[in-house]
Structure formats: structure tokens, C-alpha cells
Amino acid sequence: MKFLDQAKVYIRSGDGGAGSVSFRREKYIEFGGPDGGDGGRGGDVWAEAVEGLNTLIDYRYQQHFKAKIGVHGMGRNRTGAKGADVTLKVPVGTQIYEEDNETLICDLTEEGQRFLLAKGGNGGFGNAHFKSSTNQAPRRANPGLEGQERTIWLRLKLIADAGLVGLPNAGKSTLLASVTAAKPKIADYPFTTLHPNLGVVRIDAREFVLADIPGLIEGAHEGVGIGDRFLGHVERTNVMLHLVSALEEDPAAAYRTVRKELEAYGHGLTEKPEILALSQIDTVDAATIADKTKQLKKAAKKEPLPFSSVSRDGLDEVLRALMTHIEEERKPEEQSEPDPRWQA
């Protein structure tokens, strides 16, 4: 299945059904009177976050969604049925924007969360509604109201506990493949990863979700390389793991390049907790590791964690550091939830 994290969709709710003009014509009833029923309401358009989806690929092949119109009213005071609704099923973490792709309509961050995007039109009144003492045989009925139509943007931001950032070939996909069941493409050329990947990491009987995004290069915020469009998938993470390869000639410059792109992107990424790691240490000798670690520490003002995804040297220490940050973020949520033992 291809990965798609943005889609443009046209939606329209159903028109209301028209009211009916009808009169009772029954044997032995001298004065029948009006009995035209009201029209049914048009169908609504909903968005719902569901489990089991991690892409918006379905909306590449269908971009128009229209709810059914309400059924017209009928004689004998029969009201028309409501039109059938349409529900856009989207992955958890989907944001919905107006046509300008800037005005946020809703953010579906929990499974089962629903939002009304377009309300169906009300049904028209039948002639029975207009009966009065001065107008006992009305011959008018209202048409149903028109539904709403709009064009919206669906934008997916994957929900993960930790996110991987770094230059291309920093070892992000190798790390994801080493610690999770995910099978990202791995090769020795830049931009092997073309779309985000997710995996579940298990360490010390605890689990968290790790997201890998395509590498950043200088000028990514201006669209150079793959650009920074996939950084939105790191916005929801609790902590970032910044990888710098031990094969980099200047690890300090590599670190500053990525930090500059994160700052240019904005959205609070530079304020997120960051764990710095020197990857691919199995490819160099101990003296080089010490030298690259020293350079990186001087540039970042923090101690980098050296590790290898292939030999797994230092790998558990990196995962435990991530787990520590993630658990700190989870504690306020767990404390805010009431104890089910005290619920009636």
C-alpha cells in the first residue's frame, strides 16, 4: 500500500426533501382536509478516525463524496425519510483544513472521534403544516433546503511516541528495522526512505512507537531534496532522536544543518526534548568514535550516545533514554485518568 499523507476532497451534504401537497379523499368523511407530510432531512457528511489505517491513499482514487437527499413528503401525513449520511473514514491523527489549507477545521487524535463536516438541509413543510382556521385548504408546500458543499484538505500527522531525524544515510531506517518489525527500504544512497515508516519498539518489557521520516538536507525548508513536508509527522512525538553518522567528516556541521532546518520549519520542533546519538560506530575505529563524539558534544552542548544498529553496541542505552522521556510525558496523562476502582 502506498503512503499518502495529504488529499483534497469535495463534499456535499444532501438536500432536504420537498413537502407534499395532498388532501384526504376518503369515503364517508365529509371534510377531508390537507394531509401532505413534510420532507425528510438531507444526509450529513461526517469524518471519523478509525483503527487500522495509516495512510490517506483511499482519497487519491475518490475525491467526491455526496450524501443522499431527503425523501419527499407524502399524503396521509407521511414524513419523508432522512437521507443516508456519508462518513469519511480517516486514520487517527488526521487534521482537516478548509480549502485554503491553512484554516484548521478539526483534529482527530483519538480512535472513534467524529466530526460533522457538512449538515444536511432541512426538509420542506407539507401543506398540512399551513392549515389554519382561515386557510383550511392550503395548496402550498415548501421545497427542502439545499445541503452544504465545501472543499477540504485532509492532512495526516502520524501519532508516534518518538521520531527519528537526521541527514540522509544517518542510519535511521537501519535503526527502525533493527529494533522493530518494520521493514523499511535500506540502501547506501541518499533518500532511500521516501515516506514515513512506523514501528513498535520493545525495551525492558515496555513499548513505544517510533517514526522514521525521510532525511533532511540543507535547504529542505525551501524544498531542496524531498523537503520538510514530512516533518509534520514528528510534531506529535514526545521526544526526537537526532542521529549523526560516525562516517560524517564534520559531525558538528551535520548536526547544525538539521537543527537549522527544524528551526526554519517551526511548529515547536526545536523545543521538543532531543536525544543526540552517534550512529554507525561499527564502521569506524575507537579513536575516530572518540574524536567524533567530542566534536558533536562541543557543537550540541550535550553528550551524544554512540551506538550501532548492526552490532547493537550501545543500542539499548539509546532506547532506554527514549523510554525515560516518553514515560515522563505519559505520567501526567495517567494521573489525570480516574481510578476505575472508585467509579460507580
Cβ atoms of 157 and 55 within 8 Å: the answer is no
- 293 vs 331, residue with greater confidence: 293
Beta strand 149-156 with 104-108 is unpaired
**How many Cα atoms are found within 13 Å in the side-chain-facing hemisphere of 148?**
14
Place of cell 516518553: 326
For residue 212, give the C-alpha cell: 522514521
Residues near 105 by Cβ (< 8 Å), separated by ≥ 6? 96, 97, 98, 115, 117, 152
Per-residue pLDDT averaged across 231-260, rounded? 91
Position 212: which residue type? D
Tell which residue, 256, 247, 316, 301, has the closest CA to residue 278: 247
Q: How confident is the model at residue 189 (pLDDT cuts 50, 70, 90)?
A: low
Give the pLDDT confidence score for residue 338 in this predicted structure.
55
Q: How confident is the model at residue 344 (pLDDT cuts 50, 70, 90)?
A: very low
Alpha carbon distance 78, 61 (integer Å) = 39
Per-residue pLDDT averaged across 256-263, rounded? 91
Give the pLDDT confidence score for residue 335 in this predicted structure.
53
Alpha carbon distance 142, 125 (integer Å) = 5
Position 328: which residue type? E
Q: How confident is the model at residue 270 (pLDDT cuts 50, 70, 90)?
A: confident
Q: How many residues would you count in the chain?
A: 344
Cβ atoms of 236 and 157 within 8 Å: the answer is yes
Give the pLDDT confidence score for residue 2 in this predicted structure.
64
pLDDT tens readout for residues 10-60: 999 999 999 999 998 888 777 788 999 999 999 999 999 998 888 898 998
Alpha carbon distance 312, 262 (integer Å) = 28
Position 254: which residue type? A
pLDDT tens readout for residues 277-297: 999 999 889 999 999 999 999
Alpha carbon distance 228, 211 (integer Å) = 15
Beta partners for residue 48, in sequence order: 89, 114
Give the pLDDT confidence score for residue 342 in this predicted structure.
45
Alpha carbon distance 300, 251 (integer Å) = 10
Give the pLDDT confidence score for residue 334 in this predicted structure.
55
Rg (CA), the chain: 29
For residue 153, give the C-alpha cell: 484538505
In angstroms, what CA-CA distances link 279 with 260, 283, 308? Answer: 20, 9, 6
Helix (H) or strand (E) holding 279: strand 274-279
Alpha carbon distance 244, 21 (integer Å) = 76
